[in-house]
Structure 1
Amino acid sequence: EVELNIKASDFNFNYGFQSNDVFIEQMHALMHIYTTLPLSEKYETNFTVFHRPPQFSKRESGKLLIVIAASIAIAFAYPITYWILTYAQTLQYNLLSQEYAEIHNIKITREATIKNKEADKEKALALLNKEKDEYTDKKNTLIKIHDVKANYPMKAKLLSTLTKDLNEYEVRLEALSYNEKESIKELTLNLVSENDKKITKLVEHLTKAHQGVFRFSLHEISYEEESKKYFGKLKVELL
């Protein structure tokens, strides 16, 4: 009424609220009544001739901006994804390079250690072979010394015994040889006699007298017409 200069009635209605003489704003009363209306009876009231513009997404300009934004997002999606993957690969490559460098250093260190150990092994083997050779030489020397101490007196005793038996059976010794092969020790006596039976009896006597100590074997007895003598080769094996 004041603004439009139009006479109007008082905007004073009795809505049935119990106010106990307390002033209730008319707008408050209207809002309260509006809340009691069912949803189907409610409507939007617009008293202006300037209608509210539609939502941004429903405007043509809004649709254009949305399309532009989506295009930009799609356009940058591939390079951004590629950059992220490239960065991840670069990071992984750097980590693997560091790990490779560490493992490579460990490998080089272990190879050097192995080479040093192999060199020490070769030195130890060379020293061992040298010690083995020295041991073998000393062993052979001791064996020879033992043979000299043990076998030579035994041979001398054997020859002394055989000489007595040879004289007893009238058999002469033409030649004597000694042969040692592995564990077999053998004497070869070239016997000479005017009677082949004397040689045979000598062998029989020696076999009985030295049983278990020597092994006697007479291979052959030959007769020489020119000297009219019998020759026999007696082999004596030391048991």
Structure 2
Amino acid sequence: MGQIVTLGFYRFEGARAQLWAFAMMGLARRAIARVPGIGFWKLCGSGTGVGFTPRPNLSVYAILATWPDAETARAALAGPGVFARYRARAAESWTVFLTPTSVRGAWSGTAPFTAEEAPVPGRLAALTRASIRPSVLARFWRRVPDISAVIGDEANVMFKIGIGEVPWLHQVTFSIWPDAGTMSAFARTGPHAEAIRAVRAGDWFSEELYARFTVHSETGTWNGASPLTAKDAA
């Protein structure tokens, strides 16, 4: 098996813990860059609600990273260092391990994911990342409430969140679905499809990346349970 991508989510409760997490958006960079085996990585904040809003959620943060294999990823995330400090301060954390199956575009001028594995039936994750042109910010964010409402009501999505490196300008959407057909059906209809057409027609993004992944494994909980097994049991 080739590259593993981890996306970890951390929830912080109380003003002191939230202030620490906010400060770590800058202070953690040197420590993360020195983690053995880490490749591409990003520190992200999140949005309120289901995450697809321009208002920041100061209690939830995310760390995305790439690794040469699952063993390296697990050793780094479970060992001492910056990831341990995040877990110690967080009230709850959950990390999903992903295997890239398709990638198109760039993130900060690079191609962060290597799609070596073929898609397999079953659960998959979708990640989109875009740099929004400042001249179209108002038009872009006017579209978001409709998309947020639809994905929030979507019964088939197993997990969804909006995160970003820079508020309003650099946005990431991440979702996990039970299968490719369910995800494709959602993407082709309603406000989401309308927004995609508007993006294409108006050239709203200065940089775009679209990636799909097989869900490899997970560790931790979110809202008191595994987002994956909780959905399976429903």
**TM-score with structure 1 length normalisation?**
0.24
Using CA pairs under 8 Å that are at least 6 residues apart, name the structure with larger relative contact order, 1 or 2: 2
Q: Which has the higher helix share?
A: 1
**TM-score with structure 2 length normalisation?**
0.24
Q: Which has the higher strand share?
A: 2
**Which of 1 and 2 has greater Rg?**
1
